[in-house]
Chain A
Amino acid sequence: LSELEGQTYEAASARVEEIIKRLDSGEASLNETLELVREGKTLIELCARELAAVSDALEELRLDELVARLERESAG
């Protein structure tokens, strides 16, 4: 499941939709169902982390200040 961690939000949420569609069809075997549920939970946690990352507080930065800081850091 570690390879799931690198997925983007859109890929993860699309895969969750696919998983639920497959489970809703009732055609998955017990092993496949348990595997899909495990994968889905991992992806939902990833989506939740992505959502949490843009939900706390708006962080506003000025590009000129950011560039100046980076230049100072690289010079130092």
Chain B
Amino acid sequence: MAQTRIDDAAGAAQARPAGIPDSELAGPFPVGEYAAALRTRLRAFARVQLIGELVNLRPARARVYFELRDSAGAIPCAAWRDDWQAMLVRASREGTQASDALEGMQVVVAGGCDYYPGSATSSPGFSFTVSDMRVAGEGDLLARIDRLRKQLDAEGLLERQKRLPRALLPRAIGVVTASTGKARDDVLAALGRRGWAGRLVWGFAPVQDRHAAPAITRALSDLAAVGDVETVIVARGGGSLADLLCFCDETLCRTVALLGVPVIASVGHHTDRTLLDDVAAVSCSTPTHAAEAAVGVDCGQARARQAAAAGRLREHGRRAVLTRARALALLSRAPGAHLERQQVRLHQLLRETRAGARRRLDDERALSARRAIVLERKAASVQRDCNERHVRELERLALALAAHDPQRTLERGYALIESSRGESLPTAARAREVEELRLRFADDTLPARMLEP
């Protein structure tokens, strides 16, 4: 039937522009008609089961796309979303939990060939439309990579790059990446942020098709050999495992492991680690991180640090001499200063002694004054007592004297016999011895004469 439609299309071409002169081939046919005929022919192919590794899984709005690969070839596959969901349910019953987990698995798919003829605005495409699927086990591809990783590890090739010294501030950096793409811009931007403006050698190479691994290997070998490159970055944005398979190439990985220049890999993400990530000196998740790893210092900050260090060194040098010179000057002045200090101390002591003496004198004076006042008061008190006592004594004596006064006796009626010369005649015998007597009374004295007995 398909042959009939192509023949019809050939018939319709009679009215259309002429074909290539001298060509023996039929046509020209309108491409849309030819595409439709091709789809019809492909759909007529027998529906079969295929076995291979499921890679590069890309869910879209209506369909899910992936590739089925083995070592000899690959075929693009597609499944309607509803069919895919049913297949996932079955896979989960068999132990595969999620759609992403199918990546790299060995699967059996059932379906048939199909061709989307495209249109004026959409691209055509061939696919094997999958209507059923069964997970057959771990993919041979992943198992092969794992075996290779173990082998490289056993040979010590995973560690060789990591032991290489890495320049903190390389003058020349090599970058292996695609000539177009975001990875190149990211590396440039990150180096710019570091303030690094040295020599950058671009080793452009395809990074995801079957030519990639040999081209990358060659670029790495050349970069290590020329341009005084001190560090090499292999950069690529993320991608499915199938896109990254070139970075698991054995020759590439062995070449990297044996390079004398450290290689910084940033070809995928942590979820899809490649063998290159394992053999490289450093493995980064993004090209930006790789560039930052390649230049270990921020050049602007480093300049500021060096300027500060230079300043501190100058200061240390100046201070080392100055401090010691000052110490020496201090030592040379020490005897004079000591004498001066002693003089000052003596003066101080003298002043203190004088002040102490003055204070003592003042204190003593004050004490003496207080004592004088007390003594004065005591003397006055004693004088007063003494005077009073004397007065009383005198009064007593006066009284006693008065008591003995002859006048008082005379006043009581007695009379005193005296000689004419005033001598007292206490006895009759004495009175007889004198001729003239006087009788003294209290109020007057009268002359008397002794009569002859």
Residues of B within 8 A of A30 (CB): 320-321, 324
Q: A10-B169, A54-B171 are in contact. Are A63 and B303 (CB under 8 A)?
A: no
Distance, CA A53 to CA B213, complexed state (A):
33
Given the complex of chains A and B, what is the CA–CA distance between A19 and B320 in angstroms?
A: 14
Q: Which of B168, B299, B312, B317 contacts A34 (CB 8 A)?
A: B317
Q: Which of B169, B295, B299 has the most CB of A within 10 A?
A: B169
Cβ contacts under 8 Å, A63 to chain B: 174, 201-204, 219, 222-223, 226-227
Q: Does the CB pair B321–A62 fall under 8 Å?
A: no
The 10 A-B pairs of least Cβ separation, nearest first, read: A54-B198, A10-B168, A63-B203, A37-B317, A33-B320, A9-B169, A58-B197, A23-B316, A40-B313, A59-B199
Distance between A48 CB and nearest chain B CB, rounded to angstroms:
6
Question: Using Cβ atoms and an 8 Å threshold, which residues of chain B touch A54?
Answer: 169-171, 196-198, 295, 299
Q: Is B310 at the interface (CB under 8 A from chain A)? A: yes
Q: Which residues of A contact B203 (CB under 8 A)?
A: 63-64
Q: Check A55/B299 contact, CB under 8 A, given A33-B317, A34-B317, A63-B174.
A: yes
Contacts A/B (CB < 8 Å), 6 sampled: A8-B168, A9-B168, A23-B316, A34-B320, A62-B202, A63-B219
Using A44-B309, A63-B223 as known contacts, list a sample of 14 further A-B pairs with CB atoms less than 8 Å apart, ordered by residue number in A. Answer: A9-B169, A13-B168, A13-B306, A44-B313, A48-B303, A48-B306, A51-B169, A54-B299, A55-B303, A58-B196, A60-B200, A63-B174, A64-B203, A67-B226
Cα of A63 to Cα of B200 in the assembled complex, Å: 10
B185 nearest CB across to chain A (Å): 13
Cβ-based interface call for B296 (8 A):
yes
One digit per residue, 1 when the CB lies within 8 angstroms of any chain A CB and 0 when it does not, for chain B 187-200 equals 00001100111111
Q: Which residue of B lies closest to A33 (CB)?
A: B320
Closest A-chain residue to B171, C-beta based?
A53
Q: Is A4 an interface residue (CB 8 A)?
A: no
Q: Which of B282-310 contact A (CB under 8 A)?
A: 295-297, 299, 302-303, 305-306, 309-310
Q: Chain B residues with Cβ under 8 A from A53's Cβ?
A: 171, 198
Chain B: number of interface residues, binned into ranges? 35 or more
Complex CA distance for A47 and B309, rounded to whole angstroms: 11
Distance, CA A47 to CA B169, complexed state (A) = 10
Cβ–Cβ contact A16 & B200, under 8 A: no
Report B's interface with A, CB cutoff 8 A: 165, 167-171, 174, 191-192, 195-204, 219, 222-223, 226-227, 295-297, 299, 302-303, 305-306, 309-310, 312-314, 316-317, 320-321, 324
Q: Which residues of chain A come closer than 8 Å to B324, judged between CB atoms?
A: 30
Least CB separation from A45: chain B residue: B310
Q: With A10-B296, A53-B171, A54-B299 given, is the CB distance from A20 to B313 under 8 Å?
A: yes
Complex Cα distance, B324 from A60, in Å, reads: 53
Measured between alpha carbons, how far is A8 from B169 in the docked complex, in Å?
A: 9
Judge whether B200 and A61 touch: CB under 8 Å.
Answer: yes
State the CA gap A64–B179 with chains docked (Å): 12
Q: A30-B324, A54-B198, A60-B202 are in contact. Are A47 and B223 (CB under 8 A)?
A: no
- Are A55 and B168 in touch, CB under 8 angstroms? no
Chain A residues whose CB sits within 8 angstroms of the CB of B167 once the complex forms? 8-10
A30 to chain B minimum Cβ distance, whole angstroms, is: 6
* Cα(A48)–Cα(B299), bound, Å: 10
Question: Do the beta carbons of A41 and B197 come within 8 Å of each other?
Answer: no
Q: Are A50 and B219 in contact (CB under 8 A)?
A: no
Selected contact of A56 from candidates B169, B174, B197, B222, CB within 8 Å = B197
Q: Given that A60-B200, A63-B203 are known contacts, is A55 also in contact with B195, CB under 8 Å in the complex?
A: yes
> How far is it, in angstroms, between the C-alpha of A63 and the C-alpha of B316 when the chains are bound?
48
Shortest CB distance B326–A (Å): 13
Query: B312 — which chain A residues lie within 8 A by C-beta?
Result: 20, 23
Q: Tell me the nearest residue of chain A to B229, going by C-beta.
A: A63
Q: How far is the CA of A19 from the CA of B316 in the complex (A)?
A: 11
Q: Nearest residue in B to A22 (C-beta to C-beta)?
A: B316
Contacts of A47 in B (CB 8 A): 302, 306
When distances are taken between beta carbons in the complex, the residues of chain B under 8 Å from A41 are: 310, 313
